[in-house]
Amino acid sequence: MKIRTPRLFRRVSLGSAVIWMAAFVLVPNLLILLTSFLERDEATFVAFDFSLHGYSTILSPLFLDVLLKSVYLAGTATLICLLAAYPFAWTLARLRSKHKGLLLLLVMIPFWTNSLIRTYAMVFVLKGRGVISMLLTGLGFADRPVSFMYSEFAIFAGLTYTLLPFMILPLYSSIEKLDGRMIEAAKDLGASGMRTFFHVVLPLTRPGIIAGCMMVFLPALGMFFIPDILGGGKHLIVGNFIKNQFLTARDWPVGSAASVVLTLLMLGLMWLYGRSSRKLGQHGGSKL
């Protein structure tokens, strides 16, 4: 009984996970892939006739512009998150205080609130009589209320605010595992602070940087509600394009084809991440 119980528990756990993944990940993605090769139908949304209408439509300049705009917005937001998160994660990982756990908890608290609600909260920060505007007028930097809504700045602020914890946590994990003796050795050999950072610290924390960039960049491509709410719908990303095809244009094959392209892009980036991680693991030590 003592032997069978863990084995039964393991089988039930694995079986539940497999059923869950098949029902809510594999089957929906297969349906999206199938729909992308079907013909549009006004009455039933799709007709079961093979067609490349979806893929031929997304080859239009409109979708390519949306895709490039998405990469620009998501890439810039990723860079902002990286520049803001790295010093914070470094300080947090090197902190020797009993309050370290509390600070880590504060980083994770935003996960307890729905990201859509947090995005609406940003409206009260960025609007004409919001927090930033009142601060600027109060300090004398502006003589009238200033609104940051419906601009690229508002989109970057929303993406950074929503996705910053996804950058901090992998960086924190990577920096905390950093062997301090490597830094001491570099200093003993006469390396300056900048040289130690770029030739020792940065390569050793590269897995955390790559993981954080992946965890920010990929979700940023699909967060359509942030450009909708904070950008006023003037700046479309791939997520907006897919949502509009399904809910407004009712062209499910085109929306499905765009979803397939976005999924392939994500899989390609994850493959590059896995390849770079393996290469770093094989050659990182020898380079140092």
Who's near 33: CB < 8 A, 6+ residues apart? 256, 260
Residue 161 CA to residue 77 CA, distance in Å, equals 10
Q: Which residue has the tokens 């790559």?
A: 210
Asked if residue 218 has pLDDT above 50, the reply is yes
Question: Residue range 113-123: average pLDDT?
Answer: 88
Query: Per-residue pLDDT averaged across 159-177, rounded?
Result: 91
Give 172-206 pLDDT, tens digit per residue: 998 988 888 888 888 888 888 888 888 888 888 88
Is 78 a residue whose pLDDT tops 90?
A: yes
Per-residue pLDDT at 287: 47
Using only C-alpha atoms, the chain has a radius of gyration, in whole angstroms, of 23
Residue 50 identity (one-letter amino acid): F
Q: What is the mean pLDDT of residues 38-46?
A: 83
Taking the complete model, does pTM exceed 0.85, yes or no?
no
235-264 pLDDT, tens digit each: 888 888 888 888 888 889 999 999 998 888
Helix ranges (H only) for 95-192 are 100-108, 115-126, 131-139, 152-176, 180-188
Q: Which residues pair with 215 in a beta bridge?
A: none
Mean pLDDT, range 228-235, rounded to an integer: 85
Instruction: Using the predicted structure, report yes or no on whether residue 288 has a pLDDT greater than 50.
Output: no
List pLDDT tens digits, range 90-108.
998 888 777 788 888 888 8
- DSSP β-bridge partners for residue 41: 45
| Whole-number percent of the chain with pLDDT over 90 | 24
Q: Specify the higher pLDDT residue, 258 or 5.
A: 258
Cα–Cα distance list, 13 to 17, 20, 97 (Å): 6, 11, 38
Integer Cα distance of 86 and 208 in angstroms: 10
Q: Which run of H or E residues covers position 243?
A: helix 238-247
Percent of the chain with pLDDT over 70: 95
pLDDT of residue 249: 86
Compute the distance between CA of residue 42 and CA of residue 55 in angstroms, rounded to an integer: 18
List Cα–Cα distances, 158 to 66, 150, 287, in angstroms: 19, 11, 39
Q: Are 263 and 46 in contact (CB under 8 A)?
A: no
Return d(Cα 112, Cα 107) in angstroms, integer.
11
**pLDDT-derived band at 284, boundaries 50, 70, 90:** low
Q: What is the predicted pLDDT for the residue at 3?
A: 52
Query: Mean pLDDT score of the chain, rounded to an integer?
Result: 86
